[in-house]
Amino acid sequence: MAIVVVGGHSRNIGKTSVVEGLIRGTPERRWTAFKITQFGHGMCSANGEPCDCETAEHTAAVSEERDRSGGTDSSRYLSAGALRSLWVRTRTGNLAEAMPRIRKELERAENAMIESNSILRFLRPDLYLSVLDPSVADFKDSARLYLDRADAVLVPEGILGRPEWKGVSLKLVKDTPVLAIRPPEYVTAEVLRFMEERLALGMKTNAS
């Protein structure tokens, strides 16, 4: 089984579109896709809605998406061709509480695609792709923490240029492949080829 993690430094920079493109481009892998969302204070992990609950049982929740026609990220995974799609919700800093269920679902999966940065604290994937948009100044702490672990960074048109980020050193990705993503498809043939070559290399290494 291969595990691919797609992360990124901010919201609305194309992470879900990249996951969609990778799934759509490799249907033979029969992906199980995971969307991991961490909520701050005032949001309920049970349903992702605003609430005032502070009960222990609402710190983490996992649900399976069934609707292929909806507008949610987990629905988009199914529409792209994922075999199964799961939405993992936890309070910020509580992802560890969802890991037993995530690991159980990984055992069932043929291959897994996970949209998250924070999951890297708990597992080492076969491939980690980090989506970066130099025009967006916001940079999550989780993305900064794991940036040097990226196997490739995916950047609009493949050009980092002079990013708007403050306090983020490009030395973290100095020797990391930079691959272009182009809306609306996002995932190019080059990105798909890179993923398949890296996964094949990992299988070869594990077998030897």
Tokens of 127: 């491939």
pLDDT tens across the length of the chain (208 residues): 999 999 999 999 999 999 999 999 999 999 999 999 998 644 444 544 554 444 455 578 999 999 998 889 999 999 999 999 999 999 888 999 999 999 999 999 999 999 999 999 999 999 999 999 999 999 999 999 999 999 999 999 999 999 999 999 999 999 999 999 998 889 999 999 999 999 999 876 676 5
Pairing of strands 178-181, 152-156: parallel
| E strand or H helix that includes residue 145 | helix 141-146
On the CB side of 23, how many CA atoms lie within 13 Å of its CA? 32
Domain 3-207 is found in CATH 3.40.50: yes
For the whole model, what pTM was predicted?
A: 0.90
